[in-house]
Amino acid sequence: MSHNKSPYAVSVIDLMHRPGEMREKSLDITEVDGFGNAVIGVRQGSEVRIDVRLESLHDGILASGTVDAVAEGECVRCLTDVSLPLEVEFQELFAYSEDEAFDYTVHEDHVDLEPVVRDAVVLALPFQPVCQEDCLGLCPQCGVRLLDNPGHQHEAPVDPRWAALAGLEGLTEGDRPADDTDL
């Protein structure tokens, strides 16, 4: 099964079927597609650094390592941009056999770390990223960012049930529009 090798593919030809052999490798990858959840993720074109230790076991290659990347998104409270440095650990066995017991397998002479790295990073991303823990969000009335405007206030809101009458304030007897009964 031959396919275009992903930048996340690592050759393990020198480790295959040699239990006890081990080596370390670092990959610096420019992410092609980007990945994440609806509000934050590793953007297309971002740099992803992977430090991985590959160990040969009887049934496959054990890959363990760390991913360093920066996730970008927006604060769910005030919508400002959020940049979140990530350092995520992963460990996965790439089996020699295509047995269902294993999620990942060695392809020909390499392992593809991409799905493992993506899963580890996506699981580490916050579902509700905030620019800072105590972000106050936006003013519900005017939308100004409350952190930038401490003490920000408005007049007491008018009860919406009376709002329609607010325009009638200046009207007195004499200003009233004439109607047919005032003849």
**Cβ-count burial of 65 within 10 angstroms (0-12 exposed, 13-18 middle, 19+ buried)?**
buried
pLDDT at 1: 42
Question: What is the pLDDT tens value at each position of the chain, 183 positions in all?
Answer: 444 578 999 999 999 999 999 999 999 999 999 999 889 999 999 999 999 999 999 999 999 999 999 999 999 999 999 999 999 999 999 999 887 778 899 999 999 999 999 999 999 999 899 999 999 888 888 888 888 887 888 776 667 776 666 666 665 555 555 566 655
pLDDT score recorded for residue 101? 77
Nearest to residue 78, comparing CAs of 24, 140, 154?
Answer: 140
- CB hemisphere CA count around 95 (13 angstroms): 8
Return the structure tokens found at 47: 């740099």
Q: What is the pLDDT of residue 151?
A: 80
pLDDT value for 86: 96
pLDDT of residue 143: 85
pLDDT at residue 69, as a whole number: 97
pTM: 0.75
CA distance 63 to 53: 6
